[in-house]
Structure 1
Amino acid sequence: MRVSVIQMNQGSEKQANLDQARQLVEAAVVADRPGLVTLPETWTNLGGGRESRQAAAEVLPAPGSGAAGGPAYELLRGLARSHAIHVHGGSMIEAPGPGDDPEKLFNTTVVFDPGGAEIARYRKIHMFDIVAPDGTGYRESALYGAGERLVTFVAGGITFGCTICYDMRFAEHYVALRQMGAEAILVPSNFTLQTGKDHWEVLLRARAIETQCWIIAAASTGQYLERGQPRSVYGHSLVADPWGHVVAKASDGTGWATARLDPAVTARVRRDMPVLAHRAARHLRFDASGGPPDAGSR
């Protein structure tokens, strides 16, 4: 199966972002004929502050209802139908629905099959509440609610796991997806330039190596304005194989990169180094000094 990671430079104007996404997906489909395309994190809005994000938010139809959604939801569905491909919608800003905290938005992935049916929905679990090396503060939890469920779906005979950006720093999340049967894991992202230049590729390759999954990471690139102040995101969208090799990477600027996921590679890596079977069935124990317990405490 061929997959294309779409690299965008989105901003706070939702319609411009939708137009850019459509153009890039259609260009990638014509050039590389992928079976699945994936967009970056919050591709419908980046920057502009709380009001801009709330304006970009969409109420999503009830899963499985087939009901119409908002402009971004219907764009993704339409691209899947018109090109007969799977479309992984990176993530979009979801307005609260019944039973949700009405004060919180959600950072949400939706996935469509080639017939335009929604087959997966995932809300980002780990909130990006950090201070970057340049002193810029990020507090995602002030606006977004956290998801609670791990999600997988099947496309082209391959089981995909869903994650979003900051999730990648939590290895146990990825191991759990592998235990659920994932053979490939998607990582749509808006990774900051400050952290991305040191951590982006290292973390993605590590997640590939330890889970023996293909890692498919579509990212935003360039600058955007947050309450009038410029911020930069790292880009470098990539695909890594289950051995940790980067097999495709996007150039600077908007565009895409395409790779073929080969199940034979996955099977060979897992056969020759069966780390899932070797994973300890019990938790490792340490004494108060931080060292391993002595023989008498076993």
Structure 2
Amino acid sequence: MNSQGDKAANMAAASAFVENAVRTDKPDLVVLPEYWNFLGATPVAMQAAAETIPDGESYRLMADLARRLKVAIHGGSIAEKDGNAFYNTTIVFGPDGGELARYRKIHLFDVETADGIVYRESDSVARGEEVVTYQLGGVTMGCAICYDIRFPELFRKLRDRGADVIVLPAAFTLMTGKDHWEVLARARAIETQTWMLAVGQTGTHAGGQKWCWGHSMAIDPWGHVAAQCSDGVGFTSARLDLAYAAKVRADIPVATHHVLD
């Protein structure tokens, strides 16, 4: 997606994408990117767009879509308001529209780039503390968001909790994404021997001040890219062969060889 500061327009676009993906490819699971419902320019704007759960309009939209289309939706992330605190939060819905999981992003992106662009996510949200997995059709799914990808210890914890698939919605920057997005996603897949679903924002936002890399991907447990979006908005799909994950783990049983905690 190429989400902007118009929440209603972003929600309409997300709904159309989900419906089109379900109609075209008939998936069991649809994944949205980070901040799919609002990608604003300032912390004030992000916090103003935040929602309480479960009464927020984005929450209700995704729950209704999942129920109506009978598909699981890993809802990227939205800005969540909980009391006086704000979080970057993933919410996952089952095909009955019920909530399956909620994950608050643990690692926050506080970086100043070489060209002077400043990202201070901690000005907008607090960090989460819980490692989250959930069950979908007998498959253990793990949750991460964007900058989390640079911290392999989180992915190992997800693998140790039985994750067969790890889902990473993101708004990865263009400058880092062109060099690191695919490399890091493939590395996390290889290390954990899981399927990685890395789903990103693309194009400009914040009035053209910031750029996202896009290139949403499905990566197999051997580290091969099984499917990838082209430049620009759109969607891709992949069939996940979970038996292949079991084969990779049997061939190179790294999970039983760990020495350092």
* TM bracket, shorter-chain basis: over 0.9
1:79-135 CA-to-partner distances (Å, cap 9, x unmatched) read 1101111111000110123xxxx1x31100001111111010000000101122322
Deviation at 1:158, TM superposition (A): 1.1
Question: What SS class does the counterpart of residue 129 from structure 2 fall into?
Answer: coil
Alignment of 1:1-298 (within 5 A): 8-61=1-54, 69-97=55-83, 102=84, 104-225=85-206, 228=207, 230-280=209-259, 282=260
Q: Quick one: percent identity of the two aligned structures?
A: 51
Q: Give the counterpart letter for 2:243 in structure 1.
A: A
Q: Which runs of 5+ in 1 are unaligned?
A: 1-7, 62-68, 284-298
| TM-score with structure 2 setting the length | 0.97
1:216-272 CA-to-partner distances (Å, cap 9, x unmatched) read 0111001012xx552110000001000000000011111101001111111100010
Distance of 2:208 and 2:222 partners within structure 1:
40
Distance of 1:144 and 1:205 partners within structure 2:
28
Cα RMSD (Å): 1.1
Distance of 2:43 and 2:197 partners within structure 1:
29
Question: What SS class does the counterpart of residue 107 from structure 1 fall into?
Answer: strand
> Residues 46 and 124 of structure 2 are in contact (CA less than 8 Å); yes or no, is this contact kept in structure 1?
no
1:188-219 CA-to-partner distances (Å, cap 9, x unmatched) read 00000010000000000000000001000111
Figure out how many residues of one structure are paired with residues of the other and give that number.
Answer: 261
Question: What SS class does the counterpart of residue 276 from structure 1 fall into?
Answer: helix
User: Moved runs in structure 1, 4+ residues, more than 6 A?
Assistant: none
- Change in CA separation of 1:179 and 1:162 when aligned onto 2, cut-off 3 Å: same
Question: What SS class does the counterpart of residue 222 from structure 2 fall into?
Answer: coil
Q: Which runs of 5+ in 2 are unaligned?
A: none
Indicate the structure whose relative CO is greater, using CA pairs within 8 Å and at least 6 residues apart. 1
> Residues 132 and 195 of structure 1 are in contact (CA less than 8 Å); yes or no, is this contact kept in structure 2?
no
Greater alpha carbon shift after TM alignment, 183-192 vs 136-145 = 136-145
| TM-score with structure 1 setting the length | 0.86
